[in-house]
Amino acid sequence: MRDQIVQILRKYPKSAPDEVIPMVLALQDHFGYCPEAALEEISLRTGIPSARLHGMITFFDGLHERSDPSPRDKHYDCPLPPATADPMAGTAGPELLRDILTGRLDTARLFTVLRRLRHEIIEAPVISVPRTTCSCGAGAEAVREAVARWCAEQVHPPRMRDTGCFGWCSRQPSMELQLPGKSRLLYSELVPEDVEEILDSLHSGVAASRKLVGQLPVPGAEDWENIRYIPRMSWMRPQRRVLLGLSGIIDPGSIAEYIAHGGYASFLKSITGHPSRHVCDLVDESGLRGRGGGGFPTALKWKTALEQSADQKYFVCNAQESDPGSRIASALIESNPHQVLEGLAIAAYATGATRAWVVIRDDAPLALYRMQTAISQASATGLLGTNILGSGFNLSIKTFSIPGAFVCGEETALLSALEGRRGTPRHKPPYPASKGYLQYPTVVNNAETLANLPHIIEHGPRWFRKMGTPESPGTKLIELTGNIARPGLVEMELGSAVDEIIRQPGGGFLQGNSCKGVVLGGPLGYLLHSRELGVHFDHESLKAIGASPGSGRLMVLGESTCMVDLACKVMAFATRESCGKCIPCREGSAILHRILEDLVHRPENERGHQTLERFKGVMQMEELARVMQDTSQCGLGRSATNILLDSLRKFREEYDQHLFERHCRAGVCGGLRSFHIVPELCTGCNLCSRRCPEGAVSGSPRTIHQINKEKCTGCGICAEVCKFSAIRMN
């Protein structure tokens, strides 16, 4: 075993702090866990005491110190593209790309080269099936296989190509079809059986109309007649797609396509034309604010770091979402990794950092893969490394995967993890910009923030300020979820009204359902009442009603949402994800969770003092939540009670109903539901009795059954299995 351990650790000769977690992950890949001998070996190499390593390993959900790890929630993993040894395979040669960037091609040649690379001129039909986490989850892999099968049967097979995603999640899986000289056609909501019919139309030259969404114009190509233009559709039109401009258009695995669309020009312009200070000033003028939720002015952080005199500075791109359900950063990277990478490179240059990481959640393997490919392609092209394109600027970038700890979205916690320690936050100041990774100046910026930079450098701060509001300029990626007709990822100018966003591009509330409220920014975000939806989506307007844009996820809650249950789930989340360091967050969230649990569950055979305890708990809830907000060390504890406090303020009557009437209007809280059997409909099939996990349904076959209320926990399985709709909720 020791030999294997030594063999595995050979890949990490420096045993640097940022290699500790990768070391454990590599050992886990081999052994399934980090064995004790490996722990000792890492301790010996790094000088980190083994107790500290153990503390670190037990902190992360994805690291295991024992061979029988308790199973973790498994996320859907998108199959990765086939591995290639050469990162530049399928793109253009590095020399050509460098020539394009440095303007060494004559105009005529450049024009043709660029048009080819942009797929504006193609010789054979091109079929692309987006490869993103959301499309794979919807079944894109099967569609891709069907396309591949169809292609294999052709005499002149069309070319298949990976693309990213428009963000139109409800339309997945989709497929794009491009014939030479024609604009692109987009088909959506496909099943593998549709593929043949659509592709056969290639032979006739007539667009198949079934499942057709519309066409995307290609410059210099002929448009299809009588087919809708996608950019003019109500999903696209209200959007201001800057960051998403190339998502779904280019192949995220090809640096050549990105460069052909003008990519890396801003980076080159920065390192050759502007001193670092000047880049900071440009960004300062643009008024760009952090997109992670805090809305801190980006340039302010940068200038702090730039002013530090230190022999090493670092930069971190935080793609570890500030909201667990959100996939904004990973979607951005999955569809257009080079945009984030270029932004990171510009930011590193502006702050004087020469080493940087892209920190990605471990449940986003495709984003990680895309970013790794992007980094190797950029290095191969000479856009990363030493003396980049003769500018004298050095930069090396690595990816870093946090093995499952939500709190590591907080910058100081993230840096702790990067240093191979427990991902617990620490007190600020000193801010990471002056004392970060290993006490060196380190700026941590959100991936979305960084993706703005190439555009700001390209078009200038004045252009940027034309979008959004004076205090919150620019656009914001917004993830629409919940009870909404068209869920997906959209990009809107800051300052758009929330109800407008829900109407267009969101398509309004899901049919047959109305809206109770909206959660902004996930479990640590804010709860808006349906009456407040006229508010504009920017920092100032939201602050005025006691909220903030947060991560940018906008979840519409329908009538079937119970606010008490929602608050309870948020608290369960906070209890699970609290790092455990500070008392208010660790203990407070657990206590609040317990109080809320008591509300949503009907305790069996409750005694008098338990009822008293429930009432007492509810009385303390508000104060406790406020103390947590006031005193917790980091944003997790401070924001964990937002939704609870908002729901207490805006939906008080639901709490009262749960407490006094023991009734849940939405019928969600299992503990408060009860069921009865309609005697006229019951056939005595006995199915409910057999399925009831509590043995609460009694009755022999062919007699009318009854539910024992003492035993019933309100899970509702009986009602679900009954084929005669004989079981109804009270």
Partner 1 sequence: MEIAIEINGKTVRAERGETILEVLRRQGMSIPTLCHLPGLSPTGSCRICVVEVAGHQELLPSCSQRVEPGMSVRTHTPRLLEARKAIIEMLLASHKGECLHCSRNGECELQELGAAFQITERRYPYTQRQRGKDSSSEGLVLDHNKCILCQRCVRTCAELMGITALDAAGRGTATRISTTLDKGLNLSDCIQCGQCTLVCPTGALQSRDMVEEVARLLSQRDTFPVVSLSPVCALTLGEALGARAGKDLSGILATALRMIGFRRVLDMSAGDDLYLRLTAEEVGRRIQEGIPSPLFSLACPAWAQRSKHPLIHLPGDRSNAPSPRQLMSLLSAVPESATFTDNLSHIVHVSIEPCTARRQELLREPLPPGRKPVSELVMTTRDLARLIRLFGIDINLLEEQAADDPLGVHSYAGKIMGMSGGTAEMVAQMVEDQLGAQPAGERRSARMRSPRWWKETSIRIGKKEYAFIAVNGLARLEEALAQIARRRDIAFVEVMACPGGCLFGGGHSRTRDESTARARVKALADAHGMYRRATSAIPDPLQVLRSRLSSAELSYLLDGPRKEKTGE
Q: Where along the sequence are the contacts to partner 1 (CB under 8 A)? A: 36, 39-40, 43-44, 49-55, 58-59, 65, 405, 422, 426-427, 429, 575-584, 586-591, 594-595, 598, 613, 616-617, 620, 623-624, 627, 629-633, 638
Closest to partner 1 by CB, 118 or 422: 422
Measuring CA to CA, how many Å separate 670 from each of 141, 658, 676?
37, 12, 15
Question: Closest CB to partner 1 among 40 and 141?
Answer: 40
Name which of 252 and 637 has its Cβ closer to partner 1.
Answer: 637
Using the minimum distance from each CB to partner 1, give the nearer residue, 378 or 624: 624
Q: Would you say 408 and 365 are in contact if contact means Cβ atoms under 8 Å apart?
A: no
**Residue 375, C-beta contacts closer than 8 angstroms, at least 6 positions apart:** 341, 358, 384, 397, 398, 399
Residue 626 CB, shortest distance to partner 1, in Å, is 9
Q: How far is the CB of 275 from partner 1 (least distance, A)?
A: 31
Find the shortest distance in angstroms from Cβ 408 to partner 1: 11
Residue 43 or 308 having the CB closest to partner 1: 43
Opening angle at CA 665, ends 661 and 666, nearest 5: 145
Whose Cβ is closer to partner 1: residue 51's or residue 545's?
A: 51
CB of 582 to partner 1, least distance (A): 5
Integer Cα distance of 553 and 445 in angstroms: 18
Least gap, CB of 291 to partner 1 (angstroms): 21
> 497 pairs with which residues across the strands?
536
- DSSP lists the bridge partners of residue 480 as 488, 554
N-to-C CA span, the chain = 61
Considering the complex, what minimum distance in angstroms separates the CB of residue 326 from partner 1? Answer: 21
Rounded to a whole number of angstroms, the minimum distance from the CB of residue 616 to partner 1 is 7
Tokens of 593: 């969770």
Alpha carbon distance 539, 547 (integer Å)? 8
Which tokens hold the place of 277? Answer: 């200070």
Residue whose structure tokens are 């693309």? 163
Angle between helices 94-102 and 265-273 (to 10 degrees): 60
Q: Give the nearer residue to partner 1 in terms of CB position, either 143 or 579.
A: 579
**Least separation in angstroms between CB 33 and partner 1:** 11
Is residue 605 classed exposed, middle or buried when 0-12, 13-18 and 19+ CB atoms within 10 A define those classes? exposed
Is residue 314 within 8 Å of residue 440, measured between CB atoms?
yes
Minimum CB distance to partner 1, residue 584 (Å): 6
Min CB(604)–partner 1 separation in Å: 17
Closer to partner 1 at the Cβ: 109 or 576? 576
Nearer to partner 1, 52 or 98 (CB): 52
Please classify residue 13 by burial: count the beta carbons closer than 10 Å to its beta carbon, then call 0-12 exposed, 13-18 middle and 19+ buried. Answer: exposed
Q: Which two tokens stand for residue 530?
A: 């349906």
Give φ, ψ of 275 to 5 degrees: -70, 160
Residue closer to partner 1, measured from CB, 42 or 368: 42
Place of tokens 């960037």: 101
Query: Which of 353, 433 has the CB closer to partner 1?
Result: 433
Is the N-terminal amide bond of 365 cis, ω within 30° of 0? no
Q: Which is closer to partner 1, CB of 539 or CB of 581?
A: 581
Q: How far is the CB of 124 from partner 1 (least distance, A)?
A: 54
Neighbours of 290 (CB within 10 A): 19
Amino acid letter, 305: A
Q: Which residues of 206-232 are buried (b: 16+ CB within 10 A; e: fewer)?
A: ebbeebbbbbbebeebeebeebeebee
Instruction: For the CB of residue 70, give the shortest distance to partner 1 in the complex, in Å.
Output: 11
Q: How far is the CB of 591 from partner 1 (least distance, A)?
A: 5
For 197-245, strand residue ranges (E) read: 212-216
How do strand 727-729 and strand 675-677 relate by DSSP bridges? antiparallel
**CB of 447 within 8 A of CB of 333?**
yes
Whose Cβ is closer to partner 1: residue 482's or residue 588's? 588
Q: What is the 3-state secondary structure of 135-166?
A: HHHHCHHHHHHHHHHHHHCCCCCCEEEEECCC
Nearer to partner 1, 571 or 707 (CB): 571
**CB 628 to partner 1: min, Å:** 9
Give the shortest CB-610-to-partner 1 separation in angstroms: 10
39 vs 367, beta carbon nearer partner 1: 39
Question: By C-beta, is 70 or 725 nearer to partner 1?
Answer: 70
d(CA 115, CA 52): 55
Tell me, letter by letter, the H, E, C secondary structure of 636-692. HHHHCCHHHHHHHHHCHHHHHHHHHHCCCCCCCCHHHCCEEECCCCCCCCCHHHHHC
CB burial readout 326-349, b (16+ within 10 A) else e = bbbbbbbbbbbbbbbbbbbbbbbb
What is the nearest approach in angstroms of partner 1 to the Cβ of residue 697?
32
Q: Which residues contact 683 (CB under 8 A, 6 or more apart)?
A: 702, 724, 726
Q: Where are the beta strands (DSSP E) in 484-635?
A: 488-493, 515-520, 526-529, 553-558
Cis peptide before 173 (omega within 30 of 0): yes
